Amino acid sequence: MEPLTPPPPYTENANASIPRHSISPSEKLEMVQAELEIAKLRLRQQTRERHGQRRDISSRMAVLERMTTQHVTPALRGSLELTGPGPDPSNKTDHRRIAWNMILSEEHAPSHLSMTTLTKIPLRALSMETHHHGKMLLLRATSVSAMHSTMQTCVAVEDEYGDHELLTIYDFAVINHPSKAVQNGTSFVVKEPFFRTVLDEACVLCIDHPSDILFLEPDDPLIPLAWRVENIPKSPLQWKQAGNVALRSQNPWEAERCYNRSFAAMTASQENDIMGSMVYRNRAQARLCLEHWDGAYDDALAGMQVLPDIHDDFLEFQNMKALYRAGRAAYELGTFDRALSAYNAVLEISPRNTDGLRELRRTENRIMEQSTGINLWKATGPQAHGTNVDHADFLRRTEVRQTESHGRGLFAVEAIACGDIVLCEKALALVPTPAMPETFHLVIPPAASRGTFGAQSNMWTAVIQKVLANPSIGTKLLSLYAGPNYPPLKDPEIPMVDGRPVIDIFRIENIIEYNSFGYGHDPELTSFGNTSLATPGMDNMDGSMGLWLHASAINHSCLFNAEHSFVGDMIIFRATRDIAKDEEITTLYKEINADYDTRDTAFRTWNFSCDCKMCRADRACPATGRRKYILQQAKDFLAKLPVLNATVEPRKIILMFEDLLGQLEKTYPDELYNGLPRLGLITLNRYCAYAYCFSDPDKAIEHSFAVIAAHGYKMKIDGDDVEFDRTDAMSAPQVVDQLMNISKHKLNKGHPVLASHLRDLALEMYIIINGEPSGFETRYGRGREH
Ligand SMILES: C[S@@+](CC[C@H](N)C(=O)[O-])C[C@H]1O[C@@H](n2cnc3c(N)ncnc32)[C@H](O)[C@@H]1O
């Protein structure tokens, strides 16, 4: 006898084992919501009271005095709220987390003005809770900076008139700096400063947007003479040599700075000459190390030299180096056609160059994947492990178009068969849930009803750093939906002002909020083989998340036609049924609850109400209130099951199940639900299927069929053939379980061909859900030769 699949653990939602799609951080905030509300109210009141007031220097002195210890963290601790009990340091198994509650300024735009158009003002002229439009501060750090948290740096500063202040900067502003620190004595400009209230402390000067702070070179003419650090004037060559030393000592950040200074010291003709080409090539190398691919590509091409008529080995070699660097940068940006041209040019110069040949082949593979999709079976080998898999996006089957009623959506440009890959895409950023308390933050814009939490606040930093380093990525990012407060941008290009990309961090936070996907696996799904796809160390991390730019356009439908899974940082969508050309691709944003109100409330965190046929039927159905009541009764009953099992006869328990099922069935009138899923019937039918599996296998199988039908599948068996209509149905792991149970039952009854057809259907759905077949045999056995 083939054993049937064992009973599942109790799950609260009928469909709890459908993979979680996006995270709704608002829900996670519930635990700290009340505390936060009080904190925010207090802050708002303080903010209102202080608006426009002159800054009170005396109240700052105590804080600044403590800064002399060079430990900013304790000084600032009072200004931040600690939420929730922290872990007991002596107990290594205490994983309670501290959430640093950082309340941001009201959402505001970054300064778009160049430093040259701003008027300098002293610290003492600042008013509180006020944006000083058209103004700038020239400041100098008077302490070493301290990482207040992984997101925030604090430093004491002074102005030319001897006033002091405390400055907090979000990490974004000091990207890629080796120490992420502001050095004591560094001078900088703060554009259109904002001086704001922080809880329980008077206030701090805050830099929210990275481009609102400009670090100055020590000899910048803007710096007052008393602050200027005497620099031995260096020639372009000396700066270049300093850059080379920094590069050799693995300090690409410093190397880039030196090469920049070398350019600044050059004349126009030097820049276009051999010297300029050398510095461009070297800066390209520094930028490759910093993962500034945009700049590395441009520099590498700018470093190419015109070859003289007479053959020159040295120059050819230099050009080859530049082309190789251009190829690498283009590859990392995913612009494989540009990488291909660069590597072809390398091989024109040196046809046997082994690095060039290897990279050319790798690039050709990526170009092939762009048109055919990745070979998942190969991709799940050892190289799939790690967050950065070496594969290309496969997006050509879909494109973003305007929908009639819900903004943009993703549409199929060709017919896609059930089970086929709809798209594969590499993440812009993938962030695990922080495991350690010190990396766990709660960041709250005071006006918002929500905050960012855990991985999401780290995601924020990761995305901003990526875009700052590579502004070309920004266009697609900025065109994503950013919620109701951020109308679409007419021109989503990232502007450059004073040589720096100007990024509105608040818009980006909203983009992350509305577009990220949860990355991780439902515990029930681990047996579905997903572990083989999970990145080591990242599985079972509730709350890990990623951002995929193309897939972000996918809208939700409870009757979705695409399921997703992951290979490393790549998301893979497969069709759950045949998708017609020009049909919209939809997916499930969240586990679906059988109760309409609960489901609708969950979707409202994304600002919409689902309008699929099933939700429309639920809205029109007069019995949804009664259904909610019976579902609650069923839930209570199932929760008591362990006790009942010990005291009540199994037969009686089954009768109670069946009684509740009968009542629930009546809440689904045929005229409204014909052909649609009846979610409320899933859990109890599952239980009945398992309860009967040993005593009455035929009855058990009736309930297995009922589970499948409750998901909306219309299944007919005719001899050895199975008709399986997937219209308006929802794929789910429990459907795979029941298909396998029916398959095993039919095999036991002597119908091997039919059993094999059912197993094929189960495997097809398993692959759709899981991305690939690994884990199927572990869960269901190898199956027999039929
Ligand atoms: C990730 S974006 C999807 C793309 C978005 N429609 C756009 O215009 O870019 C998520 C947002 O799309 C909208 N959305 C998604 N599914 C929807 C649905 N079924 N009905 C209405 N709006 C939906 C909601 O505004 C949601 O916050």
The complex scores an ipTM of 1.00
Question: Are the C-beta atoms of residues 240 and 278 closer than 8 Å to each other?
Answer: yes
- Where helices occur in 51-180 by DSSP H, the ranges are 58-67, 72-77
Q: What is the distance in A from the centroid of ligand 1 to the CA of 517?
A: 13
State which ligand 1 atom lies nearest to the alpha carbon of 515: 1
- The whole-angstrom separation of Cα 337 and Cα 178 is 33
Which pLDDT does position 19 carry in this prediction? 31
Q: What is the distance in A from the centroid of ligand 1 to the CA of 679?
A: 23
Q: What is the distance in A from the centroid of ligand 1 to the CA of 541?
A: 26
Residue of 428, 489, 556 best suited for mutating to test ligand 1, as the one with most atoms within 8 Å of CB: 556
Instruction: Classify domain 25-215 at the CATH topology level.
Output: OB fold (Dihydrolipoamide Acetyltransferase, E2P) (2.40.50)
Instruction: Classify domain 612-780 at the CATH topology level.
Output: 1.25.40
Residue ID of nearest Cα to ligand 1 atom 14: 555
Q: What is the distance in A from the centroid of ligand 1 to the CA of 516?
A: 12
Q: What is the distance in A from the centroid of ligand 1 to the CA of 601?
A: 15
Which pLDDT does position 331 carry in this prediction? 98
Q: Which residues line ligand 1 (CB under 6 A)?
A: 406-409, 481, 514-515, 552-553, 555-557, 606-608, 610-611
Residue ID of nearest Cα to ligand 1 atom 15: 555
Which pLDDT does position 171 carry in this prediction? 60
Q: What is the distance in A from the centroid of ligand 1 to the CA of 590?
A: 13
Residue of 26, 406, 559 best suited for mutating to test ligand 1, as the one with most atoms within 8 Å of CB: 406
- The whole-angstrom separation of Cα 406 and Cα 612 is 12
Q: What is the distance in A from the centroid of ligand 1 to the CA of 607?
A: 8
- The whole-angstrom separation of Cα 376 and Cα 363 is 18
Mean pLDDT value across residues 140-163: 74
Residue of 477, 555, 590 best suited for mutating to test ligand 1, as the one with most atoms within 8 Å of CB: 555
Which pLDDT does position 12 carry in this prediction? 37
Q: What is the distance in A from the centroid of ligand 1 to the CA of 406?
A: 6
pLDDT digits (tens, 9 = 90+) for 574-627: 999 999 999 999 999 888 899 999 999 988 888 899 999 999 999 999 999 999
Domain boundaries, the chain: 25-215, 236-379, 612-780
pLDDT digits (tens, 9 = 90+) for 744-768: 999 999 999 999 999 999 999 999 9
- The whole-angstrom separation of Cα 594 and Cα 542 is 23
Q: What is the distance in A from the centroid of ligand 1 to the CA of 423?
A: 19
* Other C-beta atoms lying within 10 Å of the C-beta of residue 441: 29
Higher pLDDT, 148 or 130: 130
Which pLDDT does position 771 carry in this prediction? 82
Q: What is the distance in A from the centroid of ligand 1 to the CA of 407?
A: 6
Question: Does position 378 have pLDDT exceeding 90, yes or no?
Answer: no
At residue 229 the predicted structure's pLDDT band, cuts being 50, 70 and 90, is: confident
State which ligand 1 atom lies nearest to the alpha carbon of 22: 1
Which pLDDT does position 786 carry in this prediction? 44
State which ligand 1 atom lies nearest to the alpha carbon of 407: 8
State which ligand 1 atom lies nearest to the alpha carbon of 405: 21
Q: Tell me if 25-215 shares its fold with 612-780.
A: no
Q: Can you tell me whether residue 429 is helix, strand or coil?
A: strand
The pTM for the full model equals 0.85
Length of the chain: 786
At residue 451 the predicted structure's pLDDT band, cuts being 50, 70 and 90, is: low
Q: What string of H, E and C letters represents the secondary structure of 671-729?
A: HHHCCCCCHHHHHHHHHHHHHHCCCCHHHHHHHHHHHHHHCCCEEEEECCEEEEECCCC
Cα angle 261, 256, 245; round to 5? 90
Question: Does position 436 have pLDDT exceeding 70, yes or no?
Answer: no
pLDDT digits (tens, 9 = 90+) for 6-63: 444 333 333 333 333 343 434 434 444 444 455 555 555 555 555 555 555 444 444 4
CATH of 236-379, one of 1.10.10.10, 1.25.40.10, 3.40.190.10, 2.40.50.360: 1.25.40.10
Q: Can you tell me whether residue 198 is helix, strand or coil?
A: strand
- The whole-angstrom separation of Cα 265 and Cα 587 is 55
pLDDT digits (tens, 9 = 90+) for 672-708: 999 999 999 999 999 899 888 888 889 999 999 999 9
Which pLDDT does position 388 carry in this prediction? 76
pLDDT digits (tens, 9 = 90+) for 714-741: 999 999 999 999 999 999 989 999 999 9
Residue of 408, 606, 619 best suited for mutating to test ligand 1, as the one with most atoms within 8 Å of CB: 606
Question: Does position 97 have pLDDT exceeding 50, yes or no?
Answer: no
State which ligand 1 atom lies nearest to the alpha carbon of 612: 19
Ranges 20-29, 238-247, 266-275, most confident: 238-247
- Where helices occur in 333-414 by DSSP H, the ranges are 336-349, 354-372, 376-379
Q: Crossing angle of helices 313-332/274-289, nearest 10°?
A: 30
- The whole-angstrom separation of Cα 473 and Cα 538 is 25
Higher pLDDT, 493 or 585: 585
Which pLDDT does position 575 carry in this prediction? 97
Please report, rounded to a whole number, the percentage of residues in the chain having pLDDT higher than 90: 49
Residue with the two structure tokens 């399986």: 724
Higher pLDDT, 178 or 653: 653
Q: Which two tokens stand for residue 278?
A: 């050398």
